Amino acid sequence: MVKSEEGITAKKDENFSEWYTQLILKSDLADYSSVSGCIVFKPLSYAIWENVQKVVDKEFKKIGIKNVYFPLLIPESVLSKEKQHVEGFTPEVAWVTQAGNTKLSEKLAIRPTSETIMYESYSKWIRSWRDLPLKLNQWNNVVRWEFKHPVPFLRTREFLWNEGHNVYSNKKDLEKDKDAITKIYQDFLKNHMALPSILGKKTDHEKFAGAESTYSLELYLPNGKAIQGPDYHDDGQNFAKAYGIKFLNKDGKEEFAYQSTYAITTRMLGIMFAVHSDNNGLILPPRMAPNKIVITPLMFEKDEKILDKAKEIHKSISKYDPILDERTEVSPGWKFHEWELKGIPLRVEIGPKDIEKKQVVLVRRDTGKKTSVKIKDINKNIEKELDDMQANLLKKAQKLLYDNMIEADNLKDAIKGIREGKIVLVPLKNSHQAEKILKEKTGGAKTLNIPLNQLSVKNKKCISTGEQADYWVYVGKSY
């Protein structure tokens, strides 16, 4: 409680980074730990992560995905089988070399992701077309020992995620898989986290190590940086060939399988906190908030009459499992600030005058709007305010994103946009060279993704190389 008794002193639009750090600590979301780059998920943020799991898992189950658990540790020899994949990850792998006082004969990697160990098993389990599709998912922890500056939720050396690993007998089913899973993620971000996102395909330069194509959902942070959210990798037959995942097709011939991997991580929590919150503290979309309502009786010392009424109300709206703040050692104003800081979506105030009028006052966390409602109509009004708040947060986040997306068909305009913190849609050539020049000329921007619905690039020149462009692609400074 000590820390939360003090509000955020930095301003979101002046010093985003300091504001974000204070938000995370003072809203009681997380704390630093004695391991550099790893955070403690406190009850509030962990309950939100449990909500993510619950909703996304339900959608996964609807399309036949089942949960499993594979070992945390991966022998070096297993990790090394797919060349590009291992090159992408080894710089960040945490290695176990010793157990007790015994030096291990082979180093064990803490999973940075589980393709390698899962596909060893897949190659044993899959024999015939009857074994396909195989759709397995893990909700687990992974470690990537990044050396960049760590930021709670947004960049941590250990994070939590889902890692789904599906296997199909043909390319067409894999295509449907991509559509279904990217839809699950995008709908979840929009309808639950109140976050709009840009779905597209990564360029060859930016795709996942070992994948044939990577699809990503890109989001926008209030500090003018793009940030990658959930992703989906079409692995084609790459891993199948490296790990020997073969099946007998209906004609009795052996074929390599087609695979996909997909993930949503605890980074999304950080993005959600950053986009919606304000200088008074945390703002959570009601659908993601573990506690949606706090009831604060307006009393400076214990007042049985008000307290009884507050309890009566507590009971009548029990389906929301509201918090009843009965404390008398702090003032109502103090309580308001504290619950604002902690992001409770709706406050129900009840004072002596309200009792006379048989009403309560509902106060919205996002707008501060106060509405007096009759006690008998409270449930219906709560539902309305929570729905309105959910919609309002999405609308605001959409405005933030769309106001910061522009189109530029020449380098000069693109540079100007990027300097202003925009995501810029530009024509580009599909080459590492084009991305390298883009990065140099713009002071660090990179390609985000190629929108699936493409405008024509006929007669459009690549803004980097001046050659004929291959596609329109979003570029920007990325987190």
Contacts with its own copies by CB under 8 A lie at 1-2, 31, 33-35, 38-43, 46-47, 49-50, 66-75, 78, 90-101, 107-108, 110, 117, 120-121, 124-125, 127-128, 130-131, 136, 140-141, 143, 145, 147, 158, 160
Q: Tell me how crowded residue 141 is: count the other CB atoms within 10 A of its CB.
A: 13
Asked if residue 23 lies in contact with residue 129, where contact means CB atoms within 8 angstroms, the answer is: no
Q: How far is the CB of 117 from its own copies (least distance, A)?
A: 7
Asked if residue 42 lies in contact with residue 31, where contact means CB atoms within 8 angstroms, the answer is: yes
What would the DSSP string read from start to end of 388-450? HHHHHHHHHHHHHHHTTEEE-SSHHHHHHHHHTT-EEEEEE-SSHHHHHHHHHHHTS-EE--E
Comparison of 55 and 415: residue with beta carbon closer to its own copies: 55
Comparison of 115 and 435: residue with beta carbon closer to its own copies: 115
Comparison of 4 and 465: residue with beta carbon closer to its own copies: 4
Comparison of 261 and 449: residue with beta carbon closer to its own copies: 261
* DSSP summary character for residue 128: B
Q: How far is the CB of 163 from its own copies (least distance, A)?
A: 14
Comparison of 140 and 279: residue with beta carbon closer to its own copies: 140
What's the distance, CA 409 to chain centroid? 31
> Long-range contacts of range 403-407, CB-CB < 8 Å, 24 or more positions apart?
404/220, 404/224, 405/198, 405/474
Contacts of 405 (CB under 8 A, 6+ apart): 198, 422, 423, 424, 425, 474
Cα 406 to Cα 400: distance, rounded to the nearest angstrom: 12
The tokens of 422 are what? Answer: 């925009």
Q: How far is the CB of 131 from its own copies (least distance, A)?
A: 6
Angle between helices 43-62 and 267-276 (to 10 degrees): 110
Q: How far is the CB of 427 from its own copies (least distance, A)?
A: 37
Comparison of 72 and 324: residue with beta carbon closer to its own copies: 72
Q: How far is the CB of 212 from its own copies (least distance, A)?
A: 25
Q: How far is the CB of 79 from its own copies (least distance, A)?
A: 10
Q: How far is the CB of 112 from its own copies (least distance, A)?
A: 11
Comparison of 109 and 181: residue with beta carbon closer to its own copies: 109
